[in-house]
Chain A
Amino acid sequence: MGIKWNEILITGDPLIVGSQIAIVMTVIAIVGGLTYFKKWGWLWREWLTTVDHKKIGIMYILSGVLMFFRGGIDGLLMKAQTARPEMNFLDAQHYNEIFTTHGVIMILFMAMPFLIGLMNVVVPLQIGARDVAFPQLNALSFWLFFSGAMLFNISFVVGGSPDAGWTSYFPLAGKEFSPGVGNNYYAIALQIAGLGTLMTGINFIVTILKMRTKGMTLMKMPMFTWTTLITSIIIVAAFPIFTVALALMTFDRLYGTHFFTLSSGGSDMLWANLFWLWGHPEVYIVVLPAFGIFSEVIATFSRKSLYGYKSMVISIVGIALLSMLVWVHHFFTMGAGPAVNSVFSITTMLIAVPTGVKIFNWLFTMRKGRIKFTTAMLWSLGFIPNFVIGGVTGVMLGMAAADYQYHNTLFLVAHFHYVLIPGVVFAVFAGLYYWWPKMFGFMLNEKLGKYHFWLFNIGFNVTFMPMFFLGLQGAVRRAYTYSAESGFAPLFLVSAIGSIILALGFAVFCYNIYWSFRYAKRNVSSDPWDARTLEWATASPVQFYNFAVLPEVKELDAFWHMKKRNSGLVLKEEEIEEIHMPSNSGLPFYMAVVFGITGFFLVFEWHIAAAVAAIGIVIGLIIRSFDYDDGYHVTVQEIKNIESKWRKVEGGVKHHVG
């Protein structure tokens, strides 16, 4: 216990008080707006209770945008603080909190929902399915993720943020050295979100293995579907480790156990091992789907089949296996000894091989292709050189002996930003520009998109390139300031300026979303890019049942060949049958609320209240067990009406490529 009522709301820091006021104002605005426009019913029926994979995907992506904003502000604050030597903009404690939340939010609440969102929207369409295997579980996944994300995000105004870094190493993250509730937030919010991710993993494995349309064998699946499958398998293999690590952390902090403590026989190295046994595969969980997105975009805009399809698949599987065998390279300096370090050095460098294969496959896909420089393609092109810098510096860090020099410096920070920003963020942007018309029925503005691309790309390099050199000169990570004598000042200033350009790029993206919602042309073809895979074979935005008649696949790039042969594109009336669809359910949303409340009580160590709230979870499970709703049927007439609506206008619409 020991938590005082008057310390629950963080006061005294003008930045945080400002945020509190902003949060209250935003909530009032949202509630007021929904009430004024009488949109509560719409919100409940169309979004909060939906089990439609496309809407769930959009909600994931929306969360990703919001979390990008939050994590980005954290990043900007750090850059402002280190812009000049010995600044007093943030104090050491505040800086600790901000780099911690920046890391957690960007990986788990920005990268993950963006990618899982795109997976949700695209994968069932690519395999010609009507939904995922377990639609209601899918909604539960999203709502648990959202509940965890919100719980984590309120930490900085209610009770205090976690401050032990996104890796939360012990003994620092233990009760002894971090007595506040901040690290309780870390342990519990990530646990709730992680449950959702695990369910997503299982759901997508089953969806891809069992729900593929007729004729789509595994080796005829689009590359994004392949990467989703392998990513899901890594999720199932890796996330339970994190579940355990976080649970043990919770027990250490809440119930005085001795897993990671220094006293009574605990082992702080155990935490590092468990964390990175999950944490390294996690890197591939976010990067593999991104590779899939690039594969789709590059093939489409090179107007060629993906080069080396089989070697791509083998590489993904290889990366997935190796991802489980490299975790020690995150703590070479912990003293596991030269033999152990050597083994993990070699496995680490081995990962460069399948990754290199993929890079060359993308280059060969473009070779002799008729490349269209759309925004999505620009992101893919920008990805390759930037990601190679990240990869090469990764091999440098992978050499255990040399790592003693780089460890814990900004060189490492620059390295993983060069991997994760081109490897994930560029991919997400490429994917959003590419699939936006499929999600909403209108395009993002290509011209604004190019401003977005150039600002972001230049800003990214100006921000992070100097950090390689700072790191080599000895600037350590997570230090809130440095002296003027260190000579770091000029490069830190350049880096801070870069971050502003980066932020401008993101602002253009947000403006682009706004602009497109207001002004973009609505008469867009269902296949504006002249694309290759099945998601483009149906309407934009996609009707709720996806396909009137499930398509039949004969080869890779099925839709491309359907267009070439002009077969299978026209809907035959006699083939239309009733479609069975799952009903909406409020239960996932209810579960998220109960999980969130239970988590909140646990964070503050109010055990009795938490136990009472946890009964609500059990009640939810029982309600689900007694749920007799078996879904509903869409009539043939209804399907005909919906189909004729979009198929009629299709003749007169504008194609953007081709």
Chain B
Amino acid sequence: MTNPDPMAEIRASFFIECEELLEAMQDGLQTMDDGQQDSETINVVFRAVHSIKGGAGAFGLEPLVRFAHRYETVMDQVRSETLAITSDLLKLFFRAADHLSDLVRLCRDDMDIPQAEGDAILAELDLHAGATPAEEEDEDIDFQPLGLSLDLDFGDDDDTTGTSSYRITFAPATEMFETGNDAVPILRALADLGDCTTTCDAERVPALASLAPETPYLSWTVMLSTTAAIDEITSVFEFVDGLCTFAIEPVDNEVGFSDEAFPDLPPLDLLPEPEEVELPPLDMLPEPAEQISAPVEDTPVVAPKNEKPARTAPASPNAVVRVDLDRIERLVNLVGELVINQAMLAQSLESTTLSPHSDAMRGLGEFQRLTRDIQDSVMMIRAQPVKSMFQRMSRIVREASAAVGKDVRLVTDGENTEVDKTVIERLADPLTHMIRNAVDHGLEDTDARIAAGKPSQGQVRLSAAHRSGRVVIEIKDDGGGINRPRVKQIAIDKGLIPADSTLSDSEIDNLLFLPGFSTAATVSDLSGRGVGMDVVRTAIQALSGRISISSTKGEGTTFSISLPLTLAVLDGMVIKVADETLVIPLNVVTETLTLRADNLDEIQPGLAVVRVRGSMVPLFDLGRHLGYRKQKETYVDDIVLLISKEDGNQAALIVDEIQDQRQVVIKGLDDNFYRAPGIAAATILGDGQIALILDPSDIVTQAAQDAGHPNVPQKLEA
């Protein structure tokens, strides 16, 4: 196995951790916004920013560190209650959080970082913090070893290249040991710097009877001859500075260390201090006793503990393993093979004369159950809660509502609902668009809301739930509902429907999904980007999903998206055309019917339509368009599938036989195969037969082009 650069690995895992932290931060801010501003919530947000800063520092991500630091500073003031939380400040925190997310992603992708927005937020943050940026910056460059005021001799030392000699005196105080420091490592570190002679002054050690075990009695004098600068010697004492008395004095090189090594004066200087701490020994006398009894008492308690925690300890609360997506992909594929294999085995066993109570058949039943469990578990690996996406949407709402000057609150529900990772990723764009639409078009202006007796703050509810093997995501606003007369008028004006058509409410609602439909009288810079609901519908259908709309005047509009749990398995209809077995995604099939002479109209040879409840639907013979057979003489008594295309148009496909409805495992056709129009993928059926999975929209588009069908609009494609 290849082992890539460990730093790159950690960097990658840092960004994953960042996503978690950003999520926690958003959650915390949301909780604060909901009015729960306890210290733990604030702490969570603070820690998230703090940890991002810490990690960013380790990877030298300067812009991220800088922003996080100043954000954290203000947060800290809130935490220490020197700064009160106002709704303005919270809004700013949200904005800063959004910007921080941006920075994290930009840093992750090594992109350029635009300055302006961050600076603006920082300026506002600083305003709240009451600190000038300059002050902050100063605080940033801090860590320096604490220098000792020996500047006097500094000049002399500097020009002596090579070794210099120092006399270092060192006497620990009691506190030094209380912090877990010890004299030996310090003496050793000094010895590591060069040649040294160390003398220990043990004069103050009392008789054993009066010796307090935790009181330092010893002091040392070290004559050091070193090339190290005095700073480096000082740094040895960094951790114990203030917990001991020490002095570093340069000694003339010429003199070297002769008998000067034992000048008694400096140690005498030190005497007063240790003497001060000589009083406590009396108080501390009980301690040794405690110390002796304690371990005895401890051992039996600790020993049994030793076994259990040893095993539980490494398993942190939510242990996570990072796995390459490719490996999961491979596993999903293999499980797909397994499912197929199991189906084949079942089929061949059923064709034997084995009794259903035989061991083999019972074993098969068990095998089927296991296979299903494995399949479900594997799909679970790719499943992720929709929470991260919902959080992105709350940002969209904040930005969109600010842009159109409406006060909007996003309420989310079921954010722990799990959906296939790929589905979540591909759902982000359509959802963003729908949320923007809800804020921009769905909700009324504040004035209109008040006039209608509604709360001035509009609400957009985003919810997710599992419903009969699918995921249903709803976007619901409490706005004015769809203005149906206006929608209809626009559709007529744009020539999308005939002026005299009578449409039901739901048919009018569905006009929104027509390509080229946009209700905004003035194109706002928010939703009017040439992207209509038709694009949303196309994206949802590409995920094998369905989207529907419902609206009540004065109460609001709800868009409901229903999605399969995974993209690896498809609900398909198994059909037969000219002796070929094919699969059509079930979600596009709206109806099946049999052609009769009275609902069939042949416009010209090879060009026919079927009349379904008053509308004319173009008819296509799958067998002919897939090249399996020639033009049929007559279509009477043929079976047709009515399919609804992504652009909202319908088409009817002639098939010979409908065999089954079942879940099929999607097998991608790799690049070795010719990319045939109308063929999406393939699957292997239970009898081992390979069946192609059709893309009906593509077939119809192709066929309409060939036949020059007049009333089938061309699919909008570049």
Say whether A and B bind each other: no
